[in-house]
Amino acid sequence: MSKLGIIDIGSNSVRLIVSEIHPSGGFKILMDLKETLRIGLDVELNNKISDNKLKECLSTLKNFKLLCDTMGANNIITVATEAIRKASNNSMFINLVKDDVGLNIKVLSGTEEASLDAKSVINSLYIENSLVIDIGGSSTELAWVKDNKIIQCACLPFGSINLTHRYNIENIIDYKEEAKLKEFLIESIKDVPWLVTGNFKSIIGIGGSVRNLSRIDKIKKRYPIDSFHNYIFSDLDLSYMYNLLKSKSLKDRSRIEGLSKDRADIIVASTSILNTLAQNLNIKEIVVSGKGLREGLLYDYIEKNICCINDILEYSLESILENHNVDLVHAKNVYNHSKTLFNALKEKYNLNEDLLKILKIASYLHDVGISMRYYDHEKHSFYMILNSQISGVNHKELLMSAYTAAFHKKIKSTFCQYSSIINRLDIHYVELLGLILRISESFDKTLLGSITITDCSLTDDSFIIKVKSNKDISLEIKDALKCKDLFLELFHRDLVVEWDL
Kindly write down the DSSP assignment for every residue of 366-427, as one continuous string: TTGGGGT-STTHHHHHHHHHHTS--TT--HHHHHHHHHHHHHTTT-----GGGTTT--HHHH
Q: Is the pLDDT of residue 391 over 90?
A: yes
- pLDDT value for 411: 58
Structure-model confidence comparison of residues 416 and 465, the more confident one: 465
Query: Is residue 144 within 8 Å of residue 111, measured between CB atoms?
Result: no
Question: Do the domains at 2-107 and 111-293 have one common CATH topology?
Answer: yes
Architecture of domain 111-293: 2-Layer Sandwich (3.30)
- pLDDT value for 45: 92
- Nearest to 241, CA basis, from 267, 206, 262: 267
- Nearest to 105, CA basis, from 118, 92, 88: 92
Query: Is residue 149 within 8 Å of residue 129, measured between CB atoms?
Result: no
Query: Is residue 81 within 8 Å of residue 12, measured between CB atoms?
Result: no
Pairwise CA distance, residues 464 & 468, whole Å: 13
Task: Give per-residue pLDDT as tens, 321-371.
Answer: 999 999 999 999 999 999 999 999 999 999 999 999 999 999 999 999 988
| pLDDT classification of 415: cutoffs 50, 70, 90 | confident
- pLDDT value for 423: 94
Starting at the edge strand found earlier in the chain, the sheet holding 149-156 runs 149-156, 140-146, 129-135, 202-206, 285-288, 232-234
- pLDDT value for 261: 92
Pairwise CA distance, residues 496 & 377, whole Å: 29
- Nearest to 315, CA basis, from 123, 121, 126, 120: 123
- Nearest to 476, CA basis, from 499, 501, 500: 499
Task: Give per-residue pLDDT as tens, 257-304.
Answer: 999 999 999 999 999 999 999 999 999 999 999 999 999 999 999 999
- pLDDT value for 373: 86
Q: Which class is 2-107 in CATH? A: alpha beta
- Nearest to 154, CA basis, from 172, 165, 139: 139
Q: Is the pLDDT of residue 54 over 90?
A: yes
For 133, list phi and psi in degrees, rounded to 5.
Answer: -130, 130
pTM, entire model: 0.93
Task: Using CB atoms within 10 Å of the CB of residue 79, give its burial: 0 to 12 exposed, 13 to 18 middle, 19+ buried.
Answer: buried
- Nearest to 400, CA basis, from 423, 378, 376, 377: 423
- Nearest to 281, CA basis, from 183, 191, 186: 186
| Domain boundary assignment for the chain | 2-107, 111-293, 312-500
Pairwise CA distance, residues 36 & 16, whole Å: 12
Q: How large is the average pLDDT for residues 130-155?
A: 97
| DSSP tag of 105 | E
| pLDDT classification of 407: cutoffs 50, 70, 90 | confident
- Percent of the chain exceeding pLDDT 70 equals 99
- Secondary structure element (H or E) that encloses residue 282, with its range: none
Dmax (CA) for the chain in angstroms is 84
Q: Is the pLDDT of residue 157 over 80?
A: yes
Query: Is residue 496 within 8 Å of residue 462, measured between CB atoms?
Result: yes
Query: Is residue 494 within 8 Å of residue 484, measured between CB atoms?
Result: yes
- 117 in the Ramachandran plot: left (φ > 0), alpha (ψ -120 to 50) or beta? alpha
Query: Is residue 201 within 8 Å of residue 173, measured between CB atoms?
Result: no
What one-character-per-residue DSSP string does 127-173 give? Answer: -SEEEEEEE-SS-EEEEEEETTEEEEEEEES--HHHHHHHTT-SSSP
* Helix (H/G/I), strand (E/B), else coil: 96: helix
- pLDDT value for 372: 86
Pairwise CA distance, residues 430 & 406, whole Å: 10
Q: Which long-range contacts (CB under 8 A, 24 or more apart) does 46-53 make?
A: 47/86, 47/87, 47/88, 48/87, 48/88, 48/89, 49/83, 49/84, 49/87, 49/89, 49/90, 49/93
Task: Give per-residue pLDDT as tens, 55-85.
Answer: 999 999 999 999 999 999 999 999 999 999 9
- pLDDT value for 420: 92
- Cα 180-182-184 angle, rounded to 5 deg: 70
Q: How large is the average pLDDT for residues 464-476?
A: 94
Query: Is residue 283 within 8 Å of residue 107, measured between CB atoms?
Result: no
- pLDDT value for 413: 62
- pLDDT value for 379: 87
Architecture of domain 312-500: Orthogonal Bundle (1.10)
Pairwise CA distance, residues 92 & 201, whole Å: 44
